[in-house]
Amino acid sequence: MSTEAHNAEPPHWLVNHVVNPLMRLMLPSPVGRRIPLGLLRFTGRRTGRRYNIPVGVHEIEGALVVFTPARWAANFEGGAPAELVRAGKRTSMRGVLVQDPAQVGPWLRAALTSAPSPRQVGLAVPEGYVIGDEEAARLRSAIRLDPA
């Protein structure tokens, strides 16, 4: 058993080929109102490719925050427009990649405290273990979503 926090995500093939395609269909539909996830829509900075990514959205200190270990988070460096589909509503947002461990750490700890399980954030955290700021920033990128 590990004595520190680590990634605990399902296999990539399962997420990419089964779960995400299913969520992309369900989240914009009336059924999506009952799913505690959001669909983040944005355009890639360099490629111009359109992304539709199912994400966990956390309300922390009055802000909406998405955590991810994925490379697509770099699209929000310096800020970028996005659309969030959540609970059946589409909202124009501006996403900003937050890399400061002093911000990411407290936000991730708050998300872990409010989530039913650390696996909701894709992590395995031993009982009683507290994730430090540097470790949090290493494990997850944080994207703050502001109203556009």
16-29 pLDDT per residue, tens: 999 999 999 999 99
Q: Give CA–CA dist 148/122, Å, rounded.
A: 28
* Residue from 85, 89, 26 nearest 51 by CA: 85
pTM: 0.93
| Residues 59-114: tens digit of each pLDDT | 999 999 999 999 999 999 999 999 999 998 999 999 999 999 999 999 999 999 99
Sign of the CA dihedral 43, 44, 48, 53?
Answer: negative
> Quick one: pLDDT band at residue 50, thresholds 50, 70, 90?
very high
Task: Write the DSSP assignment of 39-85 as a string of letters.
Answer: EEEEE-TTT--EEEEEE-EEEETTEEEEEE-SGGGGGGTT-EEEEEE
Going edge to edge, which strands form the sheet with 57-60?
50-55, 38-43, 80-86, 89-98, 141-147, 63-68, 57-60
Q: How many degrees, rounded to 5, is the angle at CA 141 between CA 140 and CA 142?
A: 115
Mind listing the domains of the chain with CATH numbers?
6-147 (2.30.110.10)
Residue 129 to residue 119: CA distance in whole angstroms: 14
- Return the SS3 of 126: coil
Mean pLDDT in residue range 35-51: 95
Give the pair of three-digit tokens for residue 49.
Answer: 């490719």
